[in-house]
Chain A
Amino acid sequence: MSDNHYIPKSKVGKWFNDRLPLLTLANHLTDYPTPKNLNYWWTFGGILTFCLITQIVTGLVLAMHYVADTKLAFASVEHIMRDVNYGWLIRYVHANGASMFFLAVYIHIFRSLFYGSYKSPREIIWILGIIIYLLMMAAAFMGYVLPWGQMSYWGATVITNLFSAIPFIGEGITTWLWGGFSVDNPTLTRFYALHYLIPFLILGLVVLHIWALHVPGNNNPVGIEIKKPSNDTVPFHPYIVIKDAFALLLFMIVFAFFVFYTPNILGHADNYIEANPLVTPAHIVPEWYLLPFYAILRSVPDKLMGVIAMFSAILILVALPWLDTSKVRSAVFRPLYKQFYWILVIDVLILGYVGAMPAEGLYLLVARVATAYYFIHFLVILPVLGLTEKTNAIPLSISEPVLAGSAMPTRNIKDKIEINLKSLG
């Protein structure tokens, strides 16, 4: 941590800081020593913060016009789209913002998987992240119900029915969630209340997530512990701030592309049909960011086991810091893990693809194989690999490979000494 003995220069500042040390906090955040080798995969934390704030601000504005009543909800959304000043823009930013949020969070999660950021001493950061991710899914699901279109209604029906798979108490829980005998007005009003609440819970958890991050400090692409501050670190401001801002700008271009050029491509046409409890759309598909889990759910032929498999697929991530037995964090120095990592990425993409396809024939077979592999990766490959893999030598500091005149990490100590001697001349 940077110095805890910060003293404001101005008299007023000192007076205030003695009573509430906000300036000490601000100073900590500006001076926070950050590894100097962070690449652009590390900019997604800042991008995610931007996404969360965008969702809260646009959501607040939408809430001023939206009516949570089964008779009025669909019309009120159309009212936002047609009548409210800039309503179309605000709603499209909010709807696409959810997708952008998930896009960023998946990159953020897979960054951690590649560089081993979940490993000791950062397990709590990782677990807080998983909780945030779960809350994001809950918020996204409930938000999708609010426009009260066909996909809203039937998505809500399918997801709430997942709980009916629980033996004995399942039916009671489902009725309790619905507030009736089917998804109806009581369901809509409570989803609206919770949809408004969850972003603020996420905000609180994000504060804890960053707090937990600032205790050990950032992991980095090389994955080694570094001395902080040292010549391996740079202060957060201005170095990381400007890098994050540049990445955010690029991200916003992608965001704006969806909002302005193809705002409905990530949604479903069926959701522009008002909810009808008597007609199920021919093909129910969740939003793209839930597809891999949907594929896992459908790949198991038994209802209860399917639900268990789907929830396990997410909860298994909580145990990841202990399932991965390797002491080496970064995949850069783990030649085998690096390959399995990319297989996992492809596996999840395949699950996402078959999740969008009908659950039959070849798609179902592929979904089953991909589901099995997903669990094998975490439960078999990672624990075994950590114990058997021959890892490459890791550098002693971030500066070392650079100063030694090579971007490639040095293979072993003897080479290193020779190179150092040569460079000394």
Chain B
Amino acid sequence: MSDKKPKNRRDFIFTATAAAGAVGVGAAVWPLIDQMNPDASVKALASTEVDISSVKPGQSITVVWRGKPVFIKRRTQEEIDKARSVSLDELKHPEKDEDRVKNPEWLVMLGICTHLGCVPLSDKGEYDGWFCPCHGSHYDTSGRIRKGPAPINMEIPEYVFLNDNTIKIG
């Protein structure tokens, strides 16, 4: 080998070996990492149909979708008015109530506090919506964060009204 180290065949072989090795290691490690992602049986439970015919105004039910609670709340006119009368400037995560519901009477949302994932209690808190007992987040009657550490409003899952009495979530 010369002192000046010109690029020679050996350098090329080193680089090529290292590159091939890195690709090989990556290919071998990826399955070991990806096996921890949701598997086919978990993904298969992606949608749930719910009969809502027995829910009276003011009541709310909780159903399980993908292992998570979903709140289906039949809101009273008073609660709807309350949610709609709030100015967007007062909200930490500004969203209109109109954009969070398909039918104003029915609020369908993931019953999971966006702070650290607890299930908030309904008809509690300073805004008469939901209150998370874990770290004190208050949500209003539209499920929007109003006070406390949660960063965003409670999430609205994908859902459709199959007919007047049935909602399909997911």
A181 lies within 8 A of chain B by Cβ: yes
- Segment with Cβ contacts to A, from B32-40, B77-85, B98-106, B160-168: B32-40
Q: Give Cα A282 to B119, complex, Å.
A: 10
Asked if A179 and B36 sit within 8 Å, CB to CB, the answer is yes
Asked if B119 and A306 sit within 8 Å, CB to CB, the answer is no
A175 nearest CB across to chain B (Å) = 6
B118 lies within 8 A of chain A by Cβ: yes
User: Which residues of A come within 8 Å of B, CB atoms?
Assistant: 154, 157-158, 160-162, 164, 175-184, 186, 190, 277-284, 298, 300-304, 306, 358-360
B96 lies within 8 A of chain A by Cβ: no
B132 nearest CB across to chain A (Å) = 8
Q: Give Cα A301 to B134, complex, Å.
A: 13
- CB within 8 Å for A360 and B136 given contacts A277-B67, A302-B149: yes
Q: Give Cα A186 to B150, complex, Å.
A: 27
Residue with the highest number of chain A CB atoms closer than 10 Å, among B64, B111, B116, B136: B116
Asked if B37 and A158 sit within 8 Å, CB to CB, the answer is no
Total A-B Cβ pairs within 8 A? 88
Interface string of B108-122 (1 = CB under 8 A from A): 000100011111110
| Beyond known contacts A176-B36, A183-B67, A306-B149: 9 more, CB 8 A cutoff | A157-B118, A158-B117, A179-B38, A182-B67, A278-B62, A280-B120, A280-B121, A284-B133, A303-B149
Name the B residues within 8 Å of A306 (CB-CB): 149
Complex interface residues of chain B between 1 and 52 (CB less than 8 A to chain A): 33, 36-39, 42
- CB within 8 Å for A282 and B133 given contacts A179-B42, A181-B66, A190-B36: yes
The 6 A-B pairs at the shortest CB distance, nearest first, are namely A182-B67, A181-B66, A161-B117, A161-B116, A280-B118, A280-B119
- CB within 8 Å for A175 and B38 given contacts A161-B117, A182-B67: yes
Asked if B133 and A298 sit within 8 Å, CB to CB, the answer is no
Asked if A180 and B66 sit within 8 Å, CB to CB, the answer is yes
A399 nearest CB across to chain B (Å) = 56
Name the A residues within 8 Å of B33 (CB-CB): 176
Name the A residues within 8 Å of B136 (CB-CB): 358-360
Q: Give Cα A282 to B134, complex, Å.
A: 7
Q: Give Cα A36 to B95, complex, Å.
A: 69
Asked if B37 and A179 sit within 8 Å, CB to CB, the answer is yes
B115 nearest CB across to chain A (Å) = 6
Instruction: Select one of B37, B42, B117, B149 contacting A298, CB under 8 A.
Output: B149
Instruction: List the A residue with the shortest CB-CB distance to B115.
Output: A303
Q: Give Cα A281 to B134, complex, Å.
A: 8
Instruction: List the B residue with the shortest CB-CB distance to A177.
Output: B36
Asked if A154 and B118 sit within 8 Å, CB to CB, the answer is yes
Supply 5 A–B pairs (Cβ within 8 Å), ascending by A: A158-B117, A182-B68, A280-B120, A284-B118, A306-B149
Name the B residues within 8 Å of A177 (CB-CB): 36
Asked if B69 and A278 sit within 8 Å, CB to CB, the answer is yes
Asked if B69 and A180 sit within 8 Å, CB to CB, the answer is no
A127 nearest CB across to chain B (Å) = 26
Instruction: List the B residue with the shortest CB-CB distance to A306.
Output: B149
Name the A residues within 8 Å of B135 (CB-CB): 298, 359
Asked if A181 and B67 sit within 8 Å, CB to CB, the answer is yes
Name the A residues within 8 Å of B36 (CB-CB): 176-177, 179, 186, 190
Q: Give Cα A183 to B124, complex, Å.
A: 25
Name the A residues within 8 Å of B121 (CB-CB): 280
Name the B residues within 8 Å of A359 (CB-CB): 135-136
Name the B residues within 8 Å of A186 (CB-CB): 36, 38-39, 42
Complex interface residues of chain B between 54 and 87 (CB less than 8 A to chain A): 62, 64, 66-69
